[in-house]
Amino acid sequence: MRWWRGFAAAAVGMLGGLAAQADLGWALWSVTVSDEEEAQRLADSPLRLAQESVRIGANEVIVGPSDPPLVHTLGLPATPLWAIPAPTPVPRAGRESNDYRTTYLNLTNLLALYERWRSDSGGMMTRTRIGGSIQGRDLWMYRLSARRAPGMAAPKTLVITCGIHAREWISPSAGLYVADRIRVLSRTSRRHQLALSRVEVAIVPVQNPDGYEFTWTNDRYWRKNRRRNNSTSYGVDLNRNYASAWGGPGSSGNTSSDVYRGTAAFSEPETRAVRNAMATMPNVVGFIDFHSYGDYVLWPWGSTTTLCPDHATFAAHGQRMGNAIVSATGRNYTLGPTSQVLYLASGGSNDWAYQAHNALGYCIELRGGGTGLAGFVLPESLIASTQQEAWAAFERLWLDLAGVN
Ligand code: 0X9
Ligand code: ZN
């Protein structure tokens, strides 16, 4: 608290002079918006939102050393919360371990681990290249399936997507744990074998590999993909690029915005890859997109506060997922439609999965870091328990969709 006061005082003092600005470094600010017009003003600005797309009320915003003038030209009430580390590359020392329960893995190591599991799986895991990123990286989807008795009905599919937002490292990390659990349980548990024979699981380990890599090498706080929009701005928010209310509220047409929606729905190869892969699946019944942070289980709609036609079904399964998380770690996630419990956000992947496939499309916001960090920077000491929460929610939905108790 003491240092916070000092920091706030420094920020206020800084308004007059440039000298103090250099001392200020990177910081998390709270910016308050009171109506839709103000919300759009903040969304359109190049200031980076710390996960919170814009909501009416307080928003956490990442402010770099040269950004304070920008915060003030917005004409919105803004106060610094705390200093955060600069988004410079993470030191590699001590990060070479492949223990994905206690460390984050870079793109190469993460994909290598999936490959190792695949080669050990005896055909249970298969891999498809579903496309390529803006910078030409491969986009992969792993399918986890069980041998089926002849004459058994074609399986349904539950799709898991990870890493759509580059800086939310716990998302691909949670995907690893889900894949690992399925892989092990498909050999040791009859219930899970049965579930897999009815509902197979398709996992996209990292949907935004360019962005993910960029957060390891250049900018820990990067969110979007790495499309070059123009000479001064990069990146489309892939979770505003899906064809569900594309262009609606909670997205921006400003290329430098962190919620820039792109030039059209599915303008980005990363979103098209998921769309095309899912188009080949005859019966997608469930969809979970892992994000961080905030502890939420979210369902449609993001684009309007009107309840979706299947709200009751979403709520029933959502409640069961929430209960499973409580049983796993004691943590209480907030459950509800994105637009009601979080904020308006259009063009999101789970809304699209519901609209286009009639799948139960959820977005799960996993845990975040606390005071002194940007929210999506989850300390490595909390990886394992957060993975357990992701698994608990996934497993509940999976077994329910498969009719396995
Ligand atoms: O704003 C988002 O894309 C998600 N939150 S995050 O802080 N991880 O960026 C929420 C997405 C919710 N779902 C939809 N908009 N459909
Ligand atoms: Zn996200």
Q: What is the pLDDT of residue 193?
A: 95
What is the rounded distance in angstroms from the CA atom of residue 301 to the CA atom of residue 352? Answer: 10
Can you give the pLDDT at residue 20? 38
CB of 51 shorter than 6 A to ligand 1: yes
Model pLDDT, residue 11: 41
DSSP assigned state of 323: H
On the CB side of 44, how many CA atoms lie within 13 Å of its CA?
12
Instruction: Name the 3-class secondary structure at 35.
Output: coil
Summarize pLDDT for 283-327 with one digit per residue, the tens.
Answer: 999 999 999 999 999 999 999 999 999 999 999 999 999 999 999
The burial of 369, by beta-carbon neighbours within 10 Å (0-12 exposed, 13-18 middle, 19 or more buried), is given as middle
- Taking the CA atoms of residue 115, residue 120, residue 124 and residue 125 in that order, the dihedral angle to the nearest 10 degrees is 0
Decide: 104 and 95 in contact? Cβ < 8 Å. Answer: yes
Summarize pLDDT for 60-86 with one digit per residue, the tens: 999 988 887 788 889 999 999 988 988
Least confident of 9-18, 172-181, 287-296, 326-335: 9-18
Residue (of 291, 300, 287) closest to 364 by Cα position: 291
Give strand pairing partners of 131.
Answer: 139
Does ligand 1 have an atom closer than 6 angstroms to the CB of 165? yes
Closest residue (by CA) to atom 1 of ligand 1? 53
Starting from the CA of residue 163, give the closest ligand. Answer: 2
Percent of the chain with pLDDT over 70: 91
Q: Quick one: pLDDT at residue 95?
A: 53
Cβ of 374 closer than 6 Å to ligand 1, yes or no, is: no
Return the ligand 1 atom nearest residue 239 CA. 3
* Residue written as token pair 């259009």: 346
For the segment 213-228, the average pLDDT, to the nearest whole number, is 96
- Distance (angstroms) between ligand 1 centre and the Cα of 344 equals 9
Closest protein CA for atom 5 of ligand 1: 51
Span 118-141, average pLDDT? 97
End-to-end alpha-carbon separation of the chain, Å? 49
Banded model confidence at residue 94, pLDDT cuts 50, 70, 90: very low
Our answer on whether the CB atom of 302 is closer than 6 Å to any ligand 1 atom is yes
Whether the pLDDT of residue 1 is over 50: the answer is no
Name the token pair of 377.
């920077």
Confidence (pLDDT) at 5:
36
Question: Tens digits of per-residue pLDDT, 19-44?
Answer: 334 456 899 999 999 998 999 999 99
Ligand 1 atom showing the smallest separation from residue 350 Cα: 16
More confident residue, 373 or 140: 140
Listed range (112-126, 138-152, 207-221, 327-341) with the worst mean pLDDT:
138-152
At 145, list the tokens: 């399936």
pLDDT at 302: 98
The answer, yes or no, to whether any atom of ligand 1 lies below 6 A from the CB of 363, is yes
Q: Give the H or E element holding residue 340.
A: helix 338-341
Q: Give the pLDDT confidence of 238-264 residue by residue, as tens digits.
A: 999 999 999 999 999 999 999 999 999
| Beta strand extents in 233-301 (DSSP E only) | 284-292, 296-299
Report CA-CA distances (Å) from 148 to 63, 281, 345. Answer: 54, 17, 40
- Asked if pLDDT for residue 96 goes beyond 80, the answer is no
CA dihedral 303, 309, 310, 315 (to 10 degrees): 60
Indicate which residues carry an active-site annotation. Answer: 365
pTM here?
0.90
Q: What pLDDT was estimated at residue 21?
A: 40
Please tell me the predicted confidence (pLDDT) of residue 211: 98
pLDDT at residue 55 tops 50: yes
Which tokens hold the place of 85? 């580390």
